[in-house]
Amino acid sequence: MELKEVLESLGVDYEVLKERFSYNENLLRKFILKFPGDDCYHQLQLAVESEDYETIMRMAHTLKGLAANLGFDQLSFKCNDLVQYLRENGRDDVIKLNRAIGEEYNRIITGLALIDD
């Protein structure tokens, strides 16, 4: 599938994202295709497993920004939910909030795998 078609199927506003990359579609493609190799999500999962709340906060915040920059708004919102929850000293729902992040992350990764080379 074409990059634009995949991104739009993932809920990305392609025209806004293209503008963010100065209308340079090659640069946009380069950064989108690097997303699955980024370590933030993996580090978040390790932190959740070890109940390292400082690292959970840092990785969720980092992933939130990365997702927002690439137009993955739903992932960014879900990460923000976790960050805000932790800032309010919540701990009980971390697993549930992280599960929602994981579902959205996996939906994105599955979609990105469909992009034509």
Q: Which two tokens stand for residue 70?
A: 């690439």
- pLDDT at residue 117 tops 80: no
Residue 98: the pLDDT is 98
CATH number for the domain spanning 40: value is 1.20.120.160
pTM (predicted TM-score): 0.95
pLDDT in tens, 33-58: 999 999 999 999 999 999 999 999 99
**CA–CA dist 96, 74 (Å, integer):** 16
Residue 117 lies in a domain: no
pLDDT in tens, 79-99: 999 999 999 988 999 999 999
When divided into structural domains, the chain yields a total of: 1
The total of other beta-carbon atoms located within 10 Å of residue 94's CB is: 18
The residue segments making up the domain with residue 19 are 3-112
